[in-house]
Amino acid sequence: MAEIKYSPAALSDLEDIGDYIAEELKSPDAALNTVSRIQDAIYRLSDFPRICCITDTQAAKLDSKITNARVSWERVPFSDYDLKNNYAETKRLKSRIAEITRNQETTL
């Protein structure tokens, strides 16, 4: 098991992250959760010290894949208005199915 050593800057950054979430975002529970998750990830490094090792070549390949991706978080494959009227369409279809069912029952 590798020993984890925090630099003063890392400890300060971790504290600043927690303070920002707790005070600026007014969410002390989220701050505690976030700092705990970061610390858990750091502790995992003591068991698997090479878990995050990545070469410059691998990093360049990942950057290239993200840059050249057809779909990304920034570029949505469809506009948001395509999704906004789904409830109305579903309601219309349910009503139409009910109408067709009633018509079939009355003709039988």
* Mean pLDDT per 10-residue segment, the chain (108 residues): 84 94 91 92 81 78 72 55 69 91 83
pLDDT at 15: 94
pLDDT at 32: 94
pLDDT at 47: 79
pLDDT at 81: 57
* Cα–Cα distance measured from residue 70 to residue 83, given in angstroms and rounded to the nearest whole number: 20
Number of domains in the chain: 2
Q: Which amino acid is at 107?
A: T
Q: Are both 28 and 73 inside the same structural domain?
A: no
Q: How far is CA 88 from CA 32, 72, 81, 98, in A?
A: 41, 29, 13, 15
Q: Are both 46 and 63 inside the same structural domain?
A: no
Is the pTM above the cut of 0.75? Answer: no
Domain that residue 23 falls in? 1-53
Maximum pairwise Cα distance, the chain: 82
